[in-house]
Structure 1
Amino acid sequence: MPRLFTGLELPEDVAFDLDLMKGGIIGSRWIDRDSFHITLRFIGDIDDGMAREIAYALDGVEARPFSLRLKGLGVFGGNKPHTLYAGVEENADLRRLQSIHERICQVLGLPPEGRKFTPHVTLARLKDPDFHSLHGFLASHSLYKSRGFEVPRFVLFSSRPSRGGGPYAVEESYDLHDRQSDDWRGAREGAA
C-alpha cells in the first residue's frame, strides 16, 4: 500500500543553499537535501488501484509553468514548535495548481485535506528544541530569499512510512504546459 503525495521539486542550487543553513538548533533533526520539496497534496496510504486512478487523473492537469521564490523561515506548532520550514512567496499559479490537485483527490473519493494549504519546504523536525537557539536561528535567517526559479513540472511522490517522512521516490512526473496555447499553436501550424 503506497503512501503518496504530490509536490514540487527544488532546483539543485536552491536545495544546496537551504542545506547550508543546517545546524545550530539543539533538539532538531535536519531533513536531507534530497528530500526537500513543496507538498501540493498529501494523499496518504492508499491501495494500488486508487494509486493508478490518481496517477491517471493527474496526467490530465492543465496548468502552465510558473516561477516561484522561497521567502522567510518559520515554525509550525506555536508554543510547541515541531517543524522548521522555509516559506514560499505568495503565488496565484501555485495555489491554482494545488486546488486542482485537491479537486482531483476529492472527485476520486478521498476526504478533503483538513489543513489549510501553507506552501513550504520542511528543513527540520523539532523535538523539545532549545528556544534560545531556535529564536537565534530564525532571527539570523529572517531575511532569507531564494532566487526565483521556474517550475516546469509537478511530481507524484511515494514515501516509506517513517518518522518525519522520507526517503521519497518519484513515482510519476507531469510536465506543466498550457494545453490551450498548445492546441492553438498546433491549429495555427496546421493551417500554414
Structure 2
Amino acid sequence: MIRAFLGLALPEAVRSALALQQALLPLPRRVAPETLHLTLVFLGEQPDAALEAAHDAFATLRVAAFPLSLQGLGLFGGARPRAAWAGVAPSGPLIGLQATAERAAHLAGIRLEHRRFVPHVTLGRFPPPDFAATARLERAVAEGFAFSAGPWMVQDMVLWRSHLGPRGARHDELARYPFAPGPRPGQVGAEMGPD
C-alpha cells in the first residue's frame, strides 16, 4: 500500500516567503519548508494497481497553466487549533482543476473521503496547545492577515508518495503532469472581444 496525494509544488520564492511566516508564528511544530505544497486530492493508502490507474487518469487531463497567489493566514481546529495555514487567493482555474482531478481519481476507482476543498498550504501541524499558547498563536495569525505571496504560473501538478515519521511527513515525487502553456499574467482574457 502506498500513501499518496496529488498536489501543486511551490516555487522557491513562495516557499521562502512561507518559511519566513513560519518563523514569525509561535508554531509548536512546523512543516519542513521543502515539503510545503498545496494538496489537490488526498488519495490515502492505495494498492499499486489503484495508484497506477489514478496515474493513468491524471496523465490524460488537459489543463492550461494559470496564475496563482497565496493570501492570508489561518488556523484549523477552532478553539483548539491543530494546524496553521496560508490561504490561496480566489482562483476559478484552481477550483476547476481540483474538481477535475477528483473526478479522474473517482473514475480510476479510488474511493476518496468526501471533504470540501479549502485551498491552503499547511504551515504547521500540532496537538492543541494550552490556552496561553493558543492565544499567542491566534494573535500572531491575526497580525499576519495581510500575508501574500506570488503570483506565479502553475505549470504542472505532482503525484507524491507520503512517508509519515516522528518528525513529520516526507514526500517523494512519483509523477509530474505538465500543463499546456496558459496566458501570461496580465493577459488573462486579453483574447476576448466585446460582448
Which interval holds the TM-score relative to the shorter structure? 0.7 to 0.9
Structure with the largest fraction of strand: 2
**TM-score, scaled to structure 1:** 0.87
Is the CA contact (8 Å cut-off) linking 1:8 and 1:39 kept in structure 2?
A: yes
Is the CA contact (8 Å cut-off) linking 1:8 and 1:155 kept in structure 2?
A: yes
Q: Distance in 2 between matches of 1:112 and 1:6?
A: 12
Is the CA contact (8 Å cut-off) linking 2:77 and 2:83 kept in structure 1?
A: yes
Is the CA contact (8 Å cut-off) linking 1:27 and 1:127 kept in structure 2?
A: no
Is 1:156 aligned to 2:176, yes or no? Answer: no
Give the secondary structure class of the aligned counterpart of 1:166: strand
Partner in structure 2 of residue 77 of structure 1: 77
Given residue 137 of structure 1, which amino acid in structure 2 is its aligned partner? Answer: A
Residue 115 of structure 1, CA deviation: 1.0
Partner in structure 2 of residue 122 of structure 1: 122
Give the secondary structure class of the aligned counterpart of 1:94: helix
Is the CA contact (8 Å cut-off) linking 1:125 and 1:164 kept in structure 2?
A: no
Is the CA contact (8 Å cut-off) linking 2:50 and 2:110 kept in structure 1?
A: no
Which sections of structure 1, spanning at least 5 residues, go unmatched?
Answer: 179-192
Percent of residue pairs bearing the same amino acid type: 31
Change (3 A) 1:175 1:27: closer
Give the secondary structure class of the aligned counterpart of 1:134: helix
Give the secondary structure class of the aligned counterpart of 1:149: strand
* Root-mean-square deviation over aligned CA pairs: 1.9
Partner in structure 1 of residue 93 of structure 2: 93
Which sections of structure 2, spanning at least 5 residues, go unmatched?
Answer: 182-195
Change (3 A) 1:63 1:25: closer
Q: Deviations over 1:8-65 (max 9, x none)?
A: 0111011011101224655621011111000000001111111111111111001100
Given residue 168 of structure 1, which amino acid in structure 2 is its aligned partner? Answer: H
**TM-score, scaled to structure 2:** 0.86
Give the secondary structure class of the aligned counterpart of 1:28: coil
- 1:5-44, aligned counterparts within 5 Å? 5-23=5-23, 28-44=28-44
Change (3 A) 1:112 1:167: closer
Given the alignment, which residue of 118, 130, 143 partners 1:140? 143
